Chains A and B, each alone.
Chain A
Amino acid sequence: MRFKLNRKKREVHLGDRVFAFILKVPSVALVLLLVSIAYYLFRNALPVIHKQGWSFVTTSVWDPVNDVYGALPVVYGTVVSSFIAILISTPLSVGVALFLTEIAPTRVGRVVGFLVEMLAAIPSVVYGLWGIFVLAPWLRTTVEPFLAKTMGFLPFFQGAPYGVGMLAAGIILAIMITPTISSISREIFNAIPRVQREAALALGSTRWEMMRLSVLQSARRGIIGAVILGLGRALGETMAVTMLIGNRHEVSASLFAPGSTMASIIANEYAEATSDVHVAALVEVGLLLFAVTFVINSLARLFISRGFRWGAPSNSPGGAK
């Protein structure tokens, strides 16, 4: 006789059935909510989708007066500011995580880890204020002139130093996503078994070689997942970026120049949008943003779930041949 575990049939008691129902409702509701958000975004974007088709994402002119909308600069701004953020934050976060798990004494690690995670609790608008009053002036007077002098042959570092602009937005994003990336990296490093580290040490590796061999190499996938998750946050971040990016609808190679992002243009214009097509254009920007972050987060999930697979040798131990 064969038995089969059937989850539906197991819940024969009335209490279990009620409980299962209570749990099922919110799960289903959340899935429906996700689908309906996508659907309403799409439906409300229809006027501009009909009017402009693909030119919406391939052109640069954004002219609400004549009802012409080209979202290329905001897509560009979102991608570039997030990319800067990832570029700065990844080594920083992985470095912090390595320090906290491998080098710092346990107690120091716990305190510093807590403080780093507190960075995630600071409201976006506070970052924005700090950016305006501290970061942007510093960039304008010190960092940008320095970059222009040393690497001014690159198109990214040419033009007038505004302070407020793509670079400022990228840096503030980097700070904001560092807690995310470093705390996930830390979890992943902590999940690596001790014997893995000792294997490297016992072979005569230095501390740094041990980190590379037993920690970083094994955690590669997980780190990529953490970075993608951070990227997801950066793409959608609105307030601080709106305050720091300068809000100019233009594609400019220079990182010193002002720009705008998908999130910032919605925040800036939605309240004043009067024509139906203008509203629809902003909704379509929202739809693009939704799609991008959804895809990015799905990718992150995939990487992280694989990155966490540790433990026992893949074959059963003692498998004699």
Chain B
Amino acid sequence: MYSLLSTQNLSASFGSTQVLKNIQMDFDEFTVSAIIGPSGCGKSTFIRCLNRLHEEVAEASATGKVLLQGHDIYASDVDPVAIRRKIGMVFQKPNPFPSLSIFDNVAIGLKLAGVRRGAILRETVERSLKLAALWEEVKDKLNSQGTSLSGGQQQRLCIARALAVEPSVLLMDEPTSALDPISTAKIEELMTELKKTVTIVIVTHNMQQAARISDKTAFFLLGEMIEYGETSELFTAPKDQRTERYITGRFG
């Protein structure tokens, strides 16, 4: 039996600089996995390989395999567009479409997939906004611009936008690093709720956050995956010295 999502010998480069080295990881369905590690160690590059966004950067390349339900998403007959519908992403900085309303920001993924029926769109928008715990705050102003919301609300709007197409995996790259503690708490709360329906991979600089929300945690260093295990174990009894040094703040 295979995991929902796994990587085999995944390496990635920008030009001639290799930034990820032979990453081997499995993500089980309906879990939250956190990726921690110092700045520049390749965390973002890693999760951007998982939805094939990495290849959109000029000069970027990757080798190895990423398997979604056992199928290699880098196989030559696979359309990256289809993959990105199954593997959603939330970015570090909230990035709602400035020209679209709150409603359209959430509905756009479905519209891109060809859904036109108003009833379906409305129903999905409402469900997604409720999932993202934003519905109560915006239900009376669905037609105002997405960018008119606060930063924390915008980030939850982006989560709703990603959820609307019902992805099986949600990638989150430091989704709360630009937010205040209250918005952060809201999004963390949300994740425990979300993992009932979607598998989450989250990059975070905040180790307390990783400890609070994740089932498993991976520690990255200089493009390598040093340690990956149950969150409780990794934080209390790390196997690798470098992990221990990092989580106790004695790094460098």
Contacts and interface: CB of A to CB of B under 8 A. Distances in A.
Interface of A: 105-106, 193, 195-206, 209, 213-214, 217-218, 220, 313-321
B148 A314 contact: yes
Interface string B49-87: 001010010100000000000000000000001111100
B8 interface: no
A321 B153 contact: yes
B150 A321 contact: yes
B194 interface: no
Given A217-B97, A314-B147, A317-B151, A202 B112 contact: no
A209 B51 CA distance: 18
A249 B197 CA distance: 74
Interface-centre pick from A195, A201, A205, A313 (highest chain B CB count, 10 A): A313
Given A213-B108, A315-B151, A319-B151, A202 B97 contact: no
Contacts of A220: 99
A320 B152 contact: yes
A198 B53 contact: yes
Contacts of A218: 97-99
Contact of B97 (A213, A314, A318, A320): A213
A199 B56 contact: no
Contacts of A106: 58
Contact of A318 (B83, B109, B151): B151
B154 interface: yes
A227 B55 CA distance: 34
Contact of B95 (A199, A316, A318): A199
Contacts of A316: 150-151
B81 A318 contact: no
Contact of A195 (B84, B95, B153): B95
A317 B99 contact: no
A200 B96 CA distance: 10
Interface-centre pick from A197, A198, A217 (highest chain B CB count, 10 A): A198
B150 A315 contact: yes
Contacts of B153: 321
Interface string B133-173: 00001000000000111111110001001100100000000
A203 B165 contact: yes
A202 B89 contact: yes
Contacts of B181: 320
A279 B154 CA distance: 63
B91 interface: yes
Contact of B178 (A196, A201, A213, A318): A318
A317 B108 CA distance: 23
A49 B162 CA distance: 65
30 contacts: A105-B58, A193-B95, A195-B91, A198-B56, A201-B84, A202-B89, A203-B109, A204-B81, A204-B84, A204-B109, A204-B112, A204-B113, A205-B81, A213-B97, A217-B99, A217-B100, A218-B99, A313-B147, A315-B151, A316-B150, A317-B150, A317-B178, A317-B179, A318-B179, A318-B183, A319-B151, A319-B152, A320-B152, A320-B181, A320-B182
Given A203-B109, A204-B84, A209-B112, A315 B98 contact: no
Q: Nearest 4 A-B pairs (CB), nearest first?
A: A317-B151, A319-B150, A204-B85, A318-B180
A203 B147 contact: no
Nearest to A213: B97
A318 B147 contact: no
B82 to A, nearest CB: 7
B180 A205 contact: no
B127 interface: no
Given A313-B154, A317-B154, A320-B152, 9 more contacts: A196-B97, A198-B53, A199-B158, A202-B88, A202-B89, A316-B150, A316-B151, A319-B151, A320-B181
A272 to B, nearest CB: 54
Nearest to B105: A199
Nearest to A217: B99
A214 B97 contact: yes
Given A202-B88, A203-B108, A204-B82, A320 B150 contact: yes
Nearest to A317: B151
